[in-house]
């Protein structure tokens, strides 16, 4: 399956890049900059390098060895870092550029800008700016205050913008990303989320050939989807656990269980209101509350697992935002999960 890799350098918008690509029918994966493999697999047809909260002078390095191997779209920090490393110049802005700006297209023949209007609104979010381009680069867009709002090096399939096409405030951001994915990378744009189901079930069967799995269920979409996939893959070896913490809304436990019955998921309810109330008594700090709840969940799952046969797996519904908010990649922690 053809893929787009989005390399995350700590931008608040990195997940949004992945989402925009998938909305355009391209399967995208997010990879932190410090966990990249040494070589690009053949199924990766294009790369997008994210922005970053860091300055070029102190931020993480980009994988320069990949330049020229695949089409690259460098956004904001990445555009600046590449310009500085390849013979251009980047300086600190007199005032941080944050908010809308009017961009003027300079290179109408660029495949990245094909079909886009001469002027449109974009969204800026940076404190550095490119003041001189590398010798081989040509400018493709500017604003009133930024002479090099975008540039490209066609011979190396390198395209760069100092604004954020992935955010909704950039009027033609979706069209620009489509141009990069379809016209430059050559993606077919035929990926659909439903295509993943059989593939994921097959992967789960291979990863869990023996042993039983304990699945933590919350009643939400994330854990329910994870549970349905694993249950389809391993059948009776699946054990769904729903812990009644006493922290849900009135009658919500009954509503959740009724929904699980409709899906056919086998679910065991663990009553634990008193344990959670006692553990949380006197706590006011939100982070301490989350960690206390997490520790108690772990203790309960361990107790349940000890009573079941050959439990080897714990299934948890974790999505990209959970990973980013917990700060497990290159972003700062927002909250624990």
- Residue 164 is among the residues annotated as catalytic for this protein: yes
> Whole-angstrom Cα distance, residue 255 to residue 239?
20
Which of these is catalytic: 76, 126, 185, 231?
Answer: 76
159 within 8 A of 73, measured Cβ to Cβ:
yes
Of 80, 100, 240, residue with least CA distance to 169: 100
Tokens (6 digits) for 213 = 């799995």
Is residue 166 part of the annotated active site? The answer reads yes
Report which secondary-structure segment, H or E, holds 129: strand 119-132
Would you put residue 225 in left (φ > 0), alpha (ψ -120 to 50) or beta? alpha
Which of the following is catalytic: 126, 166, 215, 239?
A: 166
Neighbour order of strands in the sheet with 267-271: 267-271, 238-244, 212-217, 311-315
- Annotation says 76 is catalytic: yes
97, 126, 152, 164: which one is catalytic? 164
Phi (first) and psi of residue 298, to 5 degrees: -60, -45
> What residues are labeled active site?
76, 164, 166
């Amino acid at each position: 399956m053809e893929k787009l890799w989005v390399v995350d350098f700590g931008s608040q918008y990195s997940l949004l890049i992945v989402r925009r690509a998938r909305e355009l029918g391209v399967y995208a994966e997010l990879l932190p900059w410090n966990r990249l493999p040494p070589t690009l697999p053949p199924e990766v047809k294009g790369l997008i390098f994210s922005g970053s909260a860091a300055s070029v002078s102190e931020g993480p390095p980009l994988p320069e060895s990949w330049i020229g191997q695949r089409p690259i779209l460098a956004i904001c920090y990445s555009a600046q870092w590449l310009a500085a490393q390849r013979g251009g110049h980047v300086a600190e802005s007199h005032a941080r550029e944050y908010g809308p700006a009017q961009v003027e297209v300079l290179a109408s023949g660029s495949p990245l800008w094909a079909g886009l209007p001469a002027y449109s609104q974009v969204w800026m979010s940076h404190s550095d700016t490119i003041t001189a381009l590398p010798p081989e680069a040509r400018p493709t867009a500017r604003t009133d205050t930024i002479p090099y709002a975008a540039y490209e090096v066609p011979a190396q399939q390198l395209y760069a913008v100092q604004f954020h096409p992935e955010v909704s405030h950039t009027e033609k951001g979706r069209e620009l990303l489509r141009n990069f994915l379809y016209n430059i990378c050559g993606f077919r744009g035929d990926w659909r989320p439903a295509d993943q189901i059989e593939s994921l079930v097959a992967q789960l069967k291979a990863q869990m050939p023996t042993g039983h799995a304990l699945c933590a269920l919350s009643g939400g979409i994330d854990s329910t989807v994870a549970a349905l996939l694993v249950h389809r893959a391993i059948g009776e070896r699946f054990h769904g656990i729903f812990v009644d913490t006493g922290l849900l809304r009135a009658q919500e436990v009954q509503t959740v269980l009724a929904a699980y019955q409709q899906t056919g998921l086998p679910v065991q309810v663990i009553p634990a209101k008193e344990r959670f109330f006692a553990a949380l008594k006197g706590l006011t700090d939100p982070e301490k509350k989350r960690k206390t709840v997490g520790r108690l969940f772990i203790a309960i799952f361990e107790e349940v697992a000890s009573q079941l046969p050959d439990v080897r797996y714990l299934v948890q519904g974790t999505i990209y935002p959970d990973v980013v908010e917990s700060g497990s990649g290159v972003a700062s922690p927002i909250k624990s999960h």
